Copies of this chain bind each other. A is one copy, B any other.
Amino acid sequence: MTEAVPAIQTLLEELTKLPGIGPKSAERIAHFLLAGDRKVAVTLSEALRAVVERIRPCRECFNLTEGDLCPICSDRRRDGGIVCVVETPRDVGLFERAGTFKGVYHVLGGRLAPLENVGPDKLTLTQLVQRVRRGGVREVILATSPTLEGDGTALLTSNLLAGTNVSITRLARGVPSGASLELVNSQILADALDGRKAF
């Protein structure tokens, strides 16, 4: 009856707050952490404490980092003239894993979502405009998610950058590589036809 033990109960509650962890997974994890020498519980606790204390936004691009500048912004081999605007630090990881982009990023910190009370002031839009105005940026790629909210965010961003002299682009829309056409909706097919290229 681990349920009646307050410390375990608290741990279970905290674990179920994590995305993808339900009550059953939480219990499995808690019992795993409580078994044996509990070294994993200690190191995990310390790792959590460490990210809370050390990780902060990059001064330039607002990606998460330990120092002042993130590893990408401080990498001299990256092209600072091309800025890929993404919603979250997680998106930076996704693009980095794709491995083809050699420019730098700007993390907005979310997307416009009026229903969730996320207005333009919650995003790093002012900082993006300032960054572009400081010069050196030739192209801004709007890489927000291809959803209503992402598109809205991209539109506002492009409006804010209208006065500056950079070229503004957005990600191509089309059928996703590797997917079966049957699984793709009509909006995706319409986009793919719209943006068709010479073979």
Residues of A whose CB lies within 8 Å of any CB of B are: 1-8, 10-11, 13-15, 17-21, 25, 27-35, 38, 40-52, 54-55, 63-66, 70-72, 88-90, 92-93, 96
**Given A1-B93, A7-B51, A64-B34, CB of A14 within 8 Å of CB of B43:** yes
B35, B45, B52, B89: the one within 8 Å of A49 (CB): B45
| Contact assessment for B29 and A18 in the assembled complex, using a CB-CB cutoff below 8 Å | yes
Label chain A's interface by main secondary structure.
Answer: helix
| Contact assessment for B93 and A11 in the assembled complex, using a CB-CB cutoff below 8 Å | no
Distance A49 CA – B32 CA, assembled complex (angstroms): 15
| Contact assessment for A14 and B47 in the assembled complex, using a CB-CB cutoff below 8 Å | yes
B1, B6, B38, B89: the one within 8 Å of A31 (CB): B89
Distance A72 CA – B2 CA, assembled complex (angstroms): 10
B28, B40, B43, B93: the one within 8 Å of A20 (CB): B28
